[in-house]
């Protein structure tokens, strides 16, 4: 039986410390990717059991603005597309002080059984807003690549 899911954001917050910096003294892109991945995982686990989720890929990640030490980054993520066994999640990271977009991207997980083989999850995304419909179409395009 299918479960219809209306996209909704789940939020997490990260503080930029000295160990998160690159050689320019700004937030390292690898750390941004790690936190992006983590935010997507929070969303996936709000819908399915963590033991049944395997990371498949970062479909896209774009960095838009540097963040300096002491910055606070808000990550908000939501499910935007489902295949029979896959979940694609959109993540947007903004800087707390300016509310500017720091980075955004899409991450895909696969729902698996105890043998780590893909298993249908029976979730179907029902985009409602114009933003959700746009993100749905972008994520749908990743499936074809």
Q: What is the CATH number of the domain that holds 37?
A: 3.10.129.10
Residue (of 125, 129, 128) closest to 3 by Cα position? 125
pLDDT of residue 59: 95
58 has pLDDT over 70: yes
**pTM (2 decimals)?**
0.94
Rounded mean pLDDT of 80-100?
Answer: 97
Number of folded domains that form the chain: 1
CB 77 within 8 A of CB 135: no
Residue 13 pLDDT grade (very low, low, confident, very high; cuts 50, 70, 90): very high
33 has pLDDT over 60: yes
Residue 143 pLDDT grade (very low, low, confident, very high; cuts 50, 70, 90): confident
| 92-126 pLDDT tens trace | 999 999 999 999 999 999 999 999 999 999 999 99
Beta-sheet strands, E only, within 6-52? 10-15
CB 59 within 8 A of CB 107: yes
**Containing structural domain, residue 79:** 3-143
């Amino acid at each position: 039986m299918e479960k219809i899911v209306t996209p909704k954001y789940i939020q997490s917050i990260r503080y930029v410390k000295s160990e998160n910096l690159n050689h320019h003294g700004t937030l390292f892109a690898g750390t941004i990717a790690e936190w992006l991945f983590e935010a997507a995982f929070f969303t996936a686990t709000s819908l399915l059991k963590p033991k049944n989720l395997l990371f498949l890929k970062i479909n896209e990640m774009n960095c838009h603005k540097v963040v300096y030490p002491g910055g606070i980054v808000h990550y908000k993520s939501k499910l935007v597309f489902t295949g029979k066994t896959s979940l694609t999640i959109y993540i947007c990271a903004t800087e707390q002080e300016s509310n500017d977009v720091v980075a955004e991207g899409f991450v895909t997980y696969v729902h698996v059984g105890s043998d780590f083989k893909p298993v249908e999850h029976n979730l179907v995304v029902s985009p409602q807003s114009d933003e959700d419909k746009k993100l749905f179409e972008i994520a749908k395009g990743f499936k074809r690549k």
